[in-house]
Structures are given as C-alpha cells and as structure tokens.
Amino acid sequence: MLQETLTQNLRESRAIVLETKRLVLRQPTLADIKAIAGIVGDHRVASNLRRVPHPYSQDDATHFVSTMANVGGMTTFLIERQNAAVGLASLTWEKSDAPELGYCLDADHWGQGFATEAARALIDFAFEEFSIDVVYSGARVLNPASRHVLEKCGFQWTGVELHRFLALGSSTPVDRFRLERGVWSSLKGWSNAIRR
C-alpha cells in the first residue's frame, strides 16, 4: 500500500516546478536531450554517477527522458539557470520508506553553490510532500565537493560502502549519508523553494 501511494505521489509530482533564488527545477522533456547528453556525457560528471554509462550519448538521454514517465520509483528534475540547463537532480525510491537524493551539475557550473541550492529544494520537497523520516544520499570518496554539499544540507555521515559505477566499469567506495526529518526541521532557515 505504501509503495502504491508513493508511486502515485511521484507520478503527480512530475508536473511540479521548484524555484529557488537562482534556479528552476522542472521535469526534463525531449527538448532537453542535447543538454542532458552534454552534461552527463562529460566523463568528469559521469564518473561520479552510479547508473550512467560512459560515453553517454543523445540516444542514452532520449531513452532516459522517454522512460522516466514509466519509472515509478524516481522523480527527476532538470536544473536550469537563466533558461539554460546546468544539471539534474532526483529522488530515487530504492527503499519504499525513504528516498535517495542524487544530483549532478555541468562542470562549468561547479563551485558556485548551485548543487547545494538544488539539493535543498529537493530535500524540502521530499519532507514536505511525503511522510518520511529520512532522506539518504552518497558521494564517491574521491568527490569531496559533493560530500561538502551534503554536509551543508545537514546530512550526517553513516559509513562507507562499495557501489558499482557503470561509467567506471567497476566498484568504488562511496561515503553514505542520511538526513533525518528532525535535523532538517532545525535547519529550515535556508531559503525555501517556491512550488508551482
């Protein structure tokens, strides 16, 4: 029953647009394929994402966007700045009671706080939209910038796990994190995203 409710809520959430101070997060469309392939096709980006191959082509992006509507366990947003795609962010429901936060940015937009801003918008969305007590996330051990984003969002480190990365063709250590609802509530001083 919980999984059916989550799947229904996720399908309804696809029409949601989140706006932050500098970003707009919306559902990707087929018109975004070239931009998505450009972002995810960069090996610096792909090597930090578990589920994407490298090279990542426009055909891969087309398949991703066209099948997203049929995937009941993922809510994905395209991150835009000034009407240009700069990244992607998602909530994936591998566990029925808690989502996993994921995100990636075009390498030209690293180090400007966009990942933190987008992550906070999705965290707010997750806790406000669903009856959950925790959000999970992870970052490759060799990706301190992503770890820093999670720490700025209040995530707490829980340990290291090995995960398979398609782009690498092997497993690699991943720092695992969790953010509990109580911690999120105490940090809600960050700017709220506006939902449309």
- The yes-or-no verdict on residue 128 having pLDDT over 70 is yes
- Give the number of residues written for the chain: 196
Q: What CATH number is given to the structural domain containing 184?
A: 3.40.630.30
* Residue among 113, 131, 123, 106 at smallest CA distance from 48: 106
pLDDT digits 0-9 by tens, 97-107: 899 999 999 99
Which 8-state DSSP code applies to residue 145? H
- Tell me the C-alpha distance between 196 and 19, whole Å: 8
The answer on pLDDT for 42 being more than 90 is yes
Looking at the chain, the whole-number percentage of residues with pLDDT higher than 90 is 79
* Confidence band of 96 (pLDDT split at 50, 70, 90): confident
d(CA 154, CA 144): 15
Tokens representing 51 are: 């589920």
71 versus 155: which is more confidently predicted? 155
Residue closest to 85 by CA, chosen among 71, 68, 104, 101:
104
Q: Is the dihedral of CA 62, 63, 68, 69 positive or negative?
A: positive
Q: Work out how many domains the chain is built from and give that number.
A: 1
The CB density around residue 8, as the number of other CB atoms within 10 Å, is 11
Residue for token digits 């566990």?
Answer: 95
Which band of pLDDT confidence, cut at 50, 70 and 90, is reported for residue 196? confident
**Does the pLDDT value for residue 8 go beyond 60?**
no
**CA 44 to CA 175: how far, in whole Å?**
18
Q: Say if residue 173 is preceded by a cis peptide, omega within 30 of 0.
A: no
Average pLDDT of 1-13? 45
Domain extent, residue 69, equals 2-195
Helix residue ranges, H only, the chain? 2-13, 33-40, 43-46, 58-68, 114-129, 144-152, 181-186
* Strand 170-180 relative to strand 98-105, pairing: unpaired
